Amino acid sequence: MVSESSDAEFQSRISSKVSSKKAEAEAELAAKVEQAKAMQEIHEQQAKLRQMENDWKLREAKMLTEIKEKEAVMCLRIEEERAKLERLNAAKEVKVAAARSRAYNDVESYAEEFPEGREHEADIKHQLHPEAESFHPQQTFPEMQNTQESVDILQALVNSLSISRLPIPEPATFSGDPLKFIDWKLSFLTLIDRKSIPEGEKMFYLKTYLGGEARKAVEGFFYRNSEDAYKGAWKVLEERYENPFIVQRAFREKLLRWPKIGVNDPVALREFSDFLQGCVEAIPHVKGLTVLNDCEENYKLLKKLPTWIVRNWNKIVVEELDSSGDFPNFKRFSEFLQRESKLVCNPVTSSLLMSVKASDERYPKRAKAFHTRVQVKGATHQRPDFNKNYNVLFARVKPTTLLNVPTLQ
């Protein structure tokens, strides 16, 4: 009985171990299967992305080729129109010369047919009113007028085509500076977005004129050429770089990072005043930038200016406080710096811009020796020859001693 119970217990232990191992194996198998499915999906997605990248590169190359072909065709048309204009000018000159020749021939034939015309000319003039103006017949040539009109039309056409050959304006590359986004957006919309071109080409140009973090922000939209992708990319750019709080923070950070201006650096002062003027123009359009009107913000800006400007500004602040009781606003501060920078950058009278000459240039060195022409008496006390010049060298050896100085008469 004991052996049978022990065998049964042994068999139960073995079966429990086998069942546990089997469960572990089944769990591991299920995990491997799920892992294999996940890897398969990842590989398929990667292949899909590679295929989309290759398709986009091919489409991009195709668009570039089409643009170059259109440019070549336009250049060829312009050359053809220019050659046509030259031919018309030559034909016009030929027709004018022929008309002039026919006019001369008509005059000669008229003189041959009526030789007595000059004899009766005096009688005719005597019979007519003496103060009347002489009659000058005008000959018109319809073919010349038509040619001139066609030449004018073609000239206008060539002028319009020549304008198209000027350097094509293009927007700058935007790399993520919020202070430059509005200007870049305006140029892109004017030069590209408002043109009647497909959305795929607009997306291509958007990709071309983006760089840095701005391009990374919308890089996921470049795999599609639909209108939704183009609008989605613009939505991300506007939310990230046109937000008023982001723009005003960019203005304030640039002001805080502005280096201190030296005492004798008028150009740096002018650059600082120009940037402040830009802040003044942006205040009505950027929410939160009105904080620059606060006196504490003004104090931060004064730390970057030379002491003499701070003293001048202090006078204005005292006058404003005495007259109105209010601290001068940021616009008043910007106007003050504009005025001061204009004074110190005056190219004519500003002492900071005038090149200070070295002392040896302003005061030339005295010559250690110089020549003087004098008339001297000879050593034998004879009458000197006044027709002869003597070169005398003065050399200063001691304060009271001069060498080689003859006695003057």
392's enclosing H/E stretch is: strand 390-393
- Contact assessment for residue 201 and residue 63, using Cβ atoms and an 8 Å cutoff: yes
What's the pLDDT at 335?
Answer: 92
Are 286 and 248 in contact, with CB atoms under 8 Å apart? yes
pLDDT digits (tens, 9 = 90+) for 350-395: 665 544 333 444 444 444 444 445 444 444 445 545 444 444 444 4
pLDDT number for residue 109:
66
Query: Which of 214, 132, 145 is closest to 173 using CA atoms?
Result: 214
Got the DSSP string for 22-56?
HHHHHHHHHHHHHHHHHHHHHHHHHHHHHHHHHHH
Closest CA relative to residue 289, chosen from 356, 339, 244: 244
> Is the C-alpha dihedral spanning 71, 76, 79, 81 positive or negative?
negative
Exposure class string for 183-201: b at 16+ Cβ within 10 A, else e: ebbebbeeebeeeeeeebb
pLDDT of 192: 86
From first to last of its 409 residues, what are the pLDDT tens digits of the chain? 556 667 777 777 788 888 888 888 888 888 889 888 888 889 889 888 888 888 888 888 888 888 888 888 888 888 888 888 888 888 888 887 787 777 767 656 655 655 554 444 444 444 545 555 555 555 444 444 556 666 777 677 667 666 666 677 788 898 888 888 888 988 888 888 888 888 888 888 888 899 998 888 888 888 887 788 888 889 999 888 888 888 888 888 888 899 999 888 888 989 999 998 988 888 888 878 888 888 888 888 898 899 998 999 999 999 989 998 889 998 999 999 999 888 888 877 766 554 433 344 444 444 444 444 544 444 444 554 544 444 444 444 444 444 444 444 4
Show Cβ contacts of residue 402 under 8 Å, excluding neighbours closer than 6 positions.
Answer: 394, 395, 396
What are the extents of the domains in the chain?
19-110+143-166, 178-242, 267-344, 371-402
Rounded to 10 degrees, the C-alpha dihedral 96/101/107/109 comes to -140
pTM: 0.45
Check residue 353 and give its pLDDT: 54
The number of angstroms, rounded, from the C-alpha of 227 to the middle of its chain's C-alpha atoms is 30
Rg, the chain, Cα only? 48
Which residues contact residue 57 at a Cβ distance below 8 angstroms, ignoring those fewer than 6 apart?
none
Element of type H or E holding 373: strand 371-374
